[in-house]
Amino acid sequence: MARPVRPGRWALAPRRGAGIRSGAAARRGTGTGRGATARWRAATGRCGAARRGAPGGWAAGPPPRPPRRWRRGAAAGVAALVLVVGGGAGGAYAVRALTGPEPTPSSIAASTASSRTSAADLVSNVQRTVVDIQVAGTDGSGSEGSGVLIRSDGMILTNAHVLGDRPGSVTVTLADGSRHRATVIGTDPTHDLAVVQVSVDSPLPVATFASSSSVRVGDTVYALGSPLGLTGTVTEGIVSALHRTISAGESDGSRATRYTNMIQTDAALNSGNSGGPLVNTAGQVVGINTANEGSSGSIGLGFAIPSGTAHSVADQLIAGR
């Protein structure tokens, strides 16, 4: 059974399932300024895992096991910079809105329809590179998360916590529905990233990564993955903040690890989203979905590892470094 979440506590999105930490809570700390942090409790490994059921398939996953504890902190300088950038962008928009011609209903409708078509095409293209990952641990546990194809020879980037500490078999389901046994190429628990590879006969479509420096607060983004085992799910949001710092550890406070420079987004992230891409309106990956705040699901506060970090770590893992 999952541990009850006490009122006023925060939690991160879990990997789905029993035997895997998921649902979580953490009480928020006090204090402001550089180095001040608010406490978080992480879900299972942030966004996704499901326990394996009876032979022949995967169960929907009973209640999650106790979560990991997370803490969030932001330096005063970073927070101030975000506010300044947001205020500047908002002011510029207000001026344009006041000085520009008033849009007619027909132009609004045409713009909305065009935007929806563009978003649909974008998502359709990106979804070809998103995969579902199921892991059976050597200790009898199991997990389910997401991943994104980064090389046409079957290299896939995901979160290290999706694989867990003792991965046994790893099965990847591609966008076309085909299932493949995957090999673990390497993991980097410090950055919570891992690379696995599937063997294929023909080149696979791959995702394009954006430069981290191109990401701005307020940018529209889409989160893709398999939340709650629902493959092909897409949620929309914005980049809420940049350069966030969070700390992850076990529920008893042990094994705490600090993660820096995270992207904060209000795009819905739930169990199973871990390892999936966060993409911009150009269809480029800007982050790898990793954490969510809220024990019962996303409440508009999620975190992703920046594309620059993710791509660099992936290259090192593939090179064997």
Q: How far apart, in whole angstroms, are the C-alpha atoms of residue 34 and residue 23?
A: 29
Of 274, 295, 298, 307, which one is the catalytic site residue? 274
Of 192, 219, 226, 266, which one is the catalytic site residue? 192
Q: Which residue has the tokens 């795009």?
A: 267
Name residues whose C-beta falls within 8 Å of residue 127's C-beta, 6 or more positions apart in sequence.
175, 224, 232, 234
Distances (CA, A) of 145 to 4, 142, 265, 269, 270: 24, 10, 19, 12, 10
Q: Is 274 a catalytic residue?
A: yes
Q: How far apart, in whole angstroms, are the C-alpha atoms of residue 25 and residue 62?
A: 18
Q: Is 161 a catalytic residue?
A: yes
Q: Which residue has the tokens 């046409």?
A: 152
Of 161, 180, 191, 311, which one is the catalytic site residue? 161
Instruction: Identify the CA nearest to 47 among candidates 213, 316, 246, 280.
Output: 246
What sign has the CA pseudo-torsion 105, 111, 114, 115? negative
> Could you tell me the two tokens for 68?
């990991």
How many helices and strands in the chain, by DSSP H and E?
A: 4, 17
What does DSSP assign to residue 65? Answer: B
Task: Tell me the β-bridge partners of 37.
Answer: 73
CA angle centred on 58, ends 52 and 62, rounded to 5°? 60
Catalytic residue positions, numbered:
161, 192, 274
